[in-house]
Structure 1
Amino acid sequence: MQRKSLIDAECPIARGLERVGEWWSILIMRDALHGLRRFDEFSRSLEIAPNMLTRRLNSLVEAGLLERQAYSQRPLRYEYVPTAKGEDFRVVLMAFVAWGNRHFAPEGESVQIVQRATGQPVQTVMVAVVNGQLVPLEECTVQAGPAASASMRERLAGVAD
């Protein structure tokens, strides 16, 4: 049975999951954003089957999160570099770290999010677009955007404030 495609879904979460929703893809992006570039580096880090790694790298290139760049002509070999779209995925991974630490690390944090320059711990926050003011996450919600369909507007009309 073929999996349903979410590529044309209206929901931005569904569209994003279509590109990175497979867990190997998320781990490859984690490693790429930490500086891994070559097939053998991803293979060693993830202990993933070569055929699966090839498929996941190809799908991330196709989705525009990674760019394939030749680093050797004989034999032809590529490295995989995050694109601007791939770099934007960093915030998703940081939110995953914070969530995982909060709910699934009873032994304590094995990975912390810190400010690079100071090494001081930071937390994920939302910022008001208009004035740059920090907004606690619990004060945030979603609403229909300007391009929302009638069904999306109806669906989100019932979202609790």
Structure 2
Amino acid sequence: MFSGNDIGWLRLEKNDNGNKSDLLLISEIKTRLLFPIRVFSKETSTYENGKLIYSSQFRETNGKTNLNKEIRFVENEYEILENDKKTKLSCPKIDTNLLSLFFQEPKNAEEVYCENQQRFIKLSKADDGGYRMKFPNGNYNCYYYKEGICVKVKMQHKFYIAEIIIKY
């Protein structure tokens, strides 16, 4: 939702198989700011025994790919593949990332891994009951839950405020 209007759709899926969970988010946004904008996104995450072992992000704006990134847990460390370049990520075990927030309330989490920023972002309880993540650029997301299930995400960007309202 943007300015009270429905501007797109989002599909969320979680498949559990034993100690492994596969998460999927696919979305498409069509709106007009100064010109027509179409954003297509696909994100996946695979967790095994509560640890992120793989994630991917793909984002296309008006037909042009502007993000295509993978993270893999290989030999006890994370490896990032972006633009055919591999880099190592020195960080502890990732047990919560942005995509996982759609599927589980982060009651005890103090920080969440953000693939875009390639860093952990602090998570704080907002006055209105949500869980707020403030990014280094000043933007923030706030996740809201009902009975442990994410029902809304409010995104405040320096240029806009938008909401994802999840219907089950």
TM-score (structure 2 length as normaliser): 0.25
Which structure has the greater CA radius of gyration?
Answer: 1
